[in-house]
């Protein structure tokens, strides 16, 4: 299996999608740096003349929300575009016909590819996460301690195995192009659900309309949990649970931060189960795939 | 007694569109070279794909050295060059062979020894350092052969192994296949290049519309078709019945003549006669009878039927690829 993981890493390092992602990441970080320096130019002082910690927190939170909003896009696109053709694409052009006649069970091939993409994507996610935190920390206050950041990183990086699992499953069913379209649309639907969620949190709507939109966005979150996890990650990082203990916040604070409703801890368990089930389903489909 | 390398028993793959192959029964002995022929769409690649475990049979069974097809144990016996051959273009040629070696479980030392040997053997040599995306189709096909051979498997399934090669490359592959046969490899060869099959294979089978139409040794299928041509001068029409009666051989005016030749028909013309003759003594008798009758015998020669002619004759008039007539 190490051979397959190594081959996947080599593929990702040598393909242009990685180069493009790195270029885009650098551009994003440069842009983020300028946004951060612009937003934090005037450091507000409290009436006593000390640095206003609440204002610092608000600025740091805004910057992090902004950074991870775009950072999650970059991560998702790297993950989707590096893996969407891994099975159907290789089968279509004939690469798989030679390799799958080798004496290894198909499930090992599938898991090897999955692990290769996931480990690589997680490493990239870590790089991006740390970069956003460092840029924010240079300019303003970053809430949380190391444990909080480990937790929020793990929730943030869960997007990687989820999207890889979906992408590989889709690749057992659709053509390379079809799967690329499917994954982009599906991820887009999840993002749209998240946006609707954020808007409904701050807009005053009739209760039944609100309920109906909540139901729709809830279903979308269950089908594509990445955006909901992104909001959960921000809530962990910004310490909403601690704030809720000190002041009356509820959904109004998270809505104010552009996060909408934050899912509970059980949703993380659901996301893990979702990934495992889809992974097993993909493996089963791949085992029976006619090449 | 030769061990059975490939045993196929009533193997069937039926697709929804009616294509595939049906009730194929073949046994190939260890060290034998087996040629699998048939027009495009006859189902040859479908059969090979079932044997190497890429697709699942609808019914029937098959085994490789006793191991059921599709299992990891069966895959340990094979090297496969697919008809549609492409390799990871982000890797170098050496890296592709290394990948296949590692997937076959070869240790590092053996792998590193085999890679340059194989790349030289298939004619890639130092270009093994280049990325596959810089390879021509022919080079990729050579690389495919190296991958198929990397684990030194006892059975080779080669699906059109020289389809992308130039004449020199084809000759190289033919030489390589002969060497592999001498080394005792069992070769299952799918090819449209009938000369290749004729030169290498011990036995052949002809598949049409998913079913085996004919099979046997190359000698068997060609032997029955050996015919002799006689070019005679000073022919008279009454001589033919006499020759038939005296020699006991069914001579007749030749229908298929060498290029540039034509058959006369009148008194004193030059004419070509032909007959299917198994025994060369009969040829001697006929030439003696012709000369004794005062005619001139210009040429006598056997027309050894090529596999190509046999193939054309075998599939002529048949609907191919499952089209409805």
For B35-83, what is each residue's pLDDT tens digit? 988 887 888 889 999 999 999 999 999 999 999 999 999 999 999 999 8
Tell me whether residues A98 and B54 touch, CB distance under 8 A. no
- Tokens (6 digits) for A221: 């979150």
Predicted local confidence at residue B267, as pLDDT: 57
- B210 reaches A (C-beta below 8 A): no
Predicted local confidence at residue B162, as pLDDT: 83
- Phi and psi dihedrals of B225, rounded to 5? -100, 5
CA B226/CA B232 separation, integer angstroms: 20
**Which residue shows structure tokens 């992090």?**
A64
Of B53, B86, B105, the CB nearest to A101: B53
- B80 reaches A (C-beta below 8 A): yes
- Range(s) of chain B covered by CATH 3.30.70.260: 226-304
For A108-159, what is each residue's pLDDT tens digit? 999 999 999 999 999 999 999 999 999 888 887 777 788 889 999 999 999 9
Is 3.40.50.20 the CATH classification of the domain at B226-304? no
Q: Which of A101, A105, A107 to mutate to test the interface with B (most CBs of B within 10 A)?
A: A101
Provide the β-strand partners of residue B233: B296
Q: Residues B165, A88, B85, CA angle at the centre, nearest 5°?
A: 10
Residue B320 clears pLDDT 70, i.e. is over it: no
Interface of A with B (CB under 8 A): 3-4, 7, 10-11, 14-15, 93-95, 97-105, 288, 290-291
Residue B67: count of CB within 10 angstroms of its CB:
14
Residues of A in contact with B102 (CB under 8 A): 3
* % of residues, chain A, pLDDT over 90: 38
On whether the CB atoms of residues A83 and A174 are closer than 8 A, the answer is no
For B245-271, what is each residue's pLDDT tens digit? 888 888 888 876 766 666 665 555 788
The b-or-e profile of B5-44 (16+ CB within 10 A means b, else e) is: bbbbeebbbeeeeebbbbebebebbebbbbbbbbbebbbb
Residues of B in contact with A95 (CB under 8 A): 86-88
Predicted local confidence at residue A250, as pLDDT: 47
Edge-to-edge strand ranges of the sheet holding B186-190: B78-81, B155-159, B186-190, B33-37, B203-208, B211-217
- B67 reaches A (C-beta below 8 A): no
Three-class SS of residue B112?
helix
pLDDT-derived band at B325 (thresholds 50, 70, 90) equals: very low
For B266-319, what is each residue's pLDDT tens digit? 555 788 888 888 777 888 888 998 888 888 888 888 876 666 667 776 666 655
Residues of A in contact with B78 (CB under 8 A): 101
| Direct distance between the N- and C-terminal alpha carbons of chain B, in angstroms, rounded to an integer | 46
- Considering the domain B4-217, what is its CATH architecture? 3-Layer(aba) Sandwich (3.40)
- B150 reaches A (C-beta below 8 A): no
Residues of B in contact with A104 (CB under 8 A): 72, 75, 103
Tell me whether residues A97 and B85 touch, CB distance under 8 A. yes
CA B230/CA B227 separation, integer angstroms: 10
| Direct distance between the N- and C-terminal alpha carbons of chain A, in angstroms, rounded to an integer | 21
Predicted local confidence at residue A207, as pLDDT: 80
- Range(s) of chain B covered by CATH 3.40.50.300: 4-217
| Arithmetic mean of pLDDT, B180-205 | 87
Predicted local confidence at residue A120, as pLDDT: 93
For A155-184, what is each residue's pLDDT tens digit? 999 999 999 999 999 999 999 899 999 999
On whether the CB atoms of residues B198 and B307 are closer than 8 A, the answer is yes
| Arithmetic mean of pLDDT, A91-119 | 93
B182: closest CA of chain A, how far (Å): 24
**Span of A11-15, A140-144, B41-45, B219-223 with lowest mean pLDDT:** B219-223
* Contacts of A64 by beta carbon, 8 Å cutoff, 6+ apart: A132, A133, A136, A142, A234, A237, A238
For A25-48, what is each residue's pLDDT tens digit? 899 999 999 988 887 776 655 556
CA B53/CA A15 separation, integer angstroms: 30
* Contacts of B74 by beta carbon, 8 Å cutoff, 6+ apart: B53, B63, B64, B65, B67, B68
Residues of A in contact with B80 (CB under 8 A): 97-98, 101
Q: Specify the higher pLDDT residue, A282 or B164.
A: A282
Pairing of strands B59-64, B4-14: antiparallel
Structural domains in chain A (count): 1
**Which residue shows structure tokens 């899912």?**
A263
Residues of B in contact with A87 (CB under 8 A): none
CA A100/CA B78 separation, integer angstroms: 12
Residue A253 clears pLDDT 60, i.e. is over it: no
CA B94/CA B109 separation, integer angstroms: 14
- B142 reaches A (C-beta below 8 A): no
Nearest Cα neighbor of A175 from A99, A92, A117 is: A92
**Strand ranges (DSSP E) for chain B?**
4-14, 20-29, 33-37, 59-64, 67-68, 78-81, 155-159, 186-190, 203-208, 211-217, 227-233, 252-253, 271-276, 296-303
Residues of A in contact with B53 (CB under 8 A): 100-101
Predicted local confidence at residue B12, as pLDDT: 93
| Arithmetic mean of pLDDT, A204-217 | 81
How many residues comprise chain A? 291
Predicted local confidence at residue A257, as pLDDT: 54
For B124-174, what is each residue's pLDDT tens digit? 888 989 999 999 888 899 999 999 999 999 999 999 888 788 888 888 888
**Which residue shows structure tokens 């090992």?**
A108
**Which residue shows structure tokens 């775009």?**
A70
Nearest Cα neighbor of A230 from A194, A273, A188 is: A194
- B147 reaches A (C-beta below 8 A): yes
Predicted local confidence at residue B324, as pLDDT: 42
- B144 reaches A (C-beta below 8 A): yes
- B13 reaches A (C-beta below 8 A): no
Instruction: Report ipTM (2 d.p.).
Output: 0.80
Of A4, A97, A102, the CB nearest to B100: A102
Residue B318: count of CB within 10 angstroms of its CB:
12
Tell me whether residues B56 and A288 touch, CB distance under 8 A. yes
Residues of B in contact with A14 (CB under 8 A): 90
Average pLDDT, chain A: 85
CA B157/CA A240 separation, integer angstroms: 63
A143: closest CA of chain B, how far (Å): 43
Predicted local confidence at residue B264, as pLDDT: 67
- Tokens (6 digits) for A117: 């993409």
Domain hosting residue A20, numbered range: 2-287
Q: Enumerate the H helices of B125-166 as residue ranges.
A: 137-149
Q: Which of B76, B103, B153, B157 to mutate to test the interface with A (most CBs of A within 10 A)?
A: B103
Q: Residues B146, B151, B154, CA angle at the centre, nearest 5°?
A: 100
Predicted local confidence at residue A249, as pLDDT: 47
Residue B122 clears pLDDT 80, i.e. is over it: yes
- Tokens (6 digits) for B106: 């070869």
Predicted local confidence at residue A50, as pLDDT: 59
**Which residue shows structure tokens 């085994």?**
B63
């Amino acid at each position: 299996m190490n051979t397959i993981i190594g081959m996947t890493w080599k593929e990702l390092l040598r393909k242009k999608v990685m180069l493009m992602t790195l270029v885009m990441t650098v551009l994003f970080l440069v842009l983020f740096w300028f946004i951060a320096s612009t937003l934090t130019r005037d450091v507000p002082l409290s009436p006593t003349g000390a640095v206003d910690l609440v204002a610092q927190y608000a600025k740091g939170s805004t910057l992090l929300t902004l950074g991870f909003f775009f950072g999650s896009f970059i991560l998702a696109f790297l993950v989707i575009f590096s893996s969407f053709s891994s099975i159907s694409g290789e089968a279509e052009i004939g690469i798989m016909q030679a390799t799958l006649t080798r004496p290894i069970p198909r499930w090992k091939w599938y898991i090897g590819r999955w692990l290769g993409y996931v480990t690589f994507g997680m490493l990239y996610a870590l790089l991006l996460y740390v970069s956003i935190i460092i840029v924010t920390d240079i300019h303003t206050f970053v809430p949380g301690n190391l444990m909080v950041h480990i937790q929020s990183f793990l929730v943030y990086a869960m997007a990687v195995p989820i999207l890889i699992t979906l992408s590989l499953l889709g690749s057992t069913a659709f053509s390379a192009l079809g799967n690329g379209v499917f994954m982009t649309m599906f991820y887009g639907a999840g993002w749209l659900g998240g946006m609707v969620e954020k808007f409904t949190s701050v807009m005053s709507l009739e209760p039944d309309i609100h309920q109906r939109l909540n139901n729709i966005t809830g279903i979308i979150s269950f089908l594509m949990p990445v955006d909901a996890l992104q909001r959960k990650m921000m809530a962990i990082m910004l310490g909403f649970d601690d704030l809720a203990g000190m002041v009356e916040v509820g959904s109004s604070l998270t809505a104010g931060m552009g996060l909408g409703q934050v899912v509970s801890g059980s949703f993380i368990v659901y996301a893990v189960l979702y990934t495992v089930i889809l992974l097993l389903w993909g493996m089963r489909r791949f085992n029976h795939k006619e090449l | 007694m030769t061990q059975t390398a490939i045993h196929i028993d009533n193997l069937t793959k039926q697709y929804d569109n009616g294509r595939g192959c049906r009730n194929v029964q073949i046994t190939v002995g260890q060290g034998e070279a087996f040629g699998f022929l048939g027009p495009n769409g006859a189902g040859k690649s479908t059969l090979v794909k079932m044997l190497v475990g890429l697709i699942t049979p609808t019914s029937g069974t098959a085994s490789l050295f006793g191991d059921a097809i599709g299992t990891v144990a069966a895959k340990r016996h094979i090297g496969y060059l697919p008809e549609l051959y492409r390799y990871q273009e982000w890797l170098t040629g050496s890296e592709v062979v290394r990948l296949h070696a590692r997937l076959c479980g070869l240790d590092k030392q053996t792998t590193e020894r085999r890679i340059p040997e194989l790349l030289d053997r298939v004619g890639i040599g130092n270009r093994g350092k280049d990325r596959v995306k810089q390879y021509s189709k022919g080079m990729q096909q050579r690389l495919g052969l190296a991958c198929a051979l990397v684990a030194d498997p006892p059975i080779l399934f080669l699906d059109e192994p020289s389809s992308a090669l130039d004449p020199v490359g084809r000759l190289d592959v033919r030489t390589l296949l002969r060497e592999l046969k001498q080394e005792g490899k069992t070769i299952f060869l799918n090819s449209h290049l009938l000369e290749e099959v004729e030169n290498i294979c011990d036995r052949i089978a002809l598949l049409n519309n998913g079913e085996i139409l004919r099979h046997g040794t190359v000698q068997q299928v060609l032997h029955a078709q050996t015919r002799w041509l006689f070019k005679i001068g000073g022919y008279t029409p009454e001589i033919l019945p006499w020759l038939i009666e005296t020699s006991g051989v069914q001579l007749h005016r030749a229908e298929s003549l060498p290029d540039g030749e034509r058959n006369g028909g009148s008194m004193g013309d030059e004419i070509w006669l032909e007959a299917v003759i198994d025994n060369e003594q009969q040829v001697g008798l006929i030439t003696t009878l012709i000369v004794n009758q005062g005619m001139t015998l210009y040429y006598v020669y056997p027309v050894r039927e090529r596999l190509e002619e046999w193939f054309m004759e075998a599939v002529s008039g048949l609907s191919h690829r499952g089209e409805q007539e």
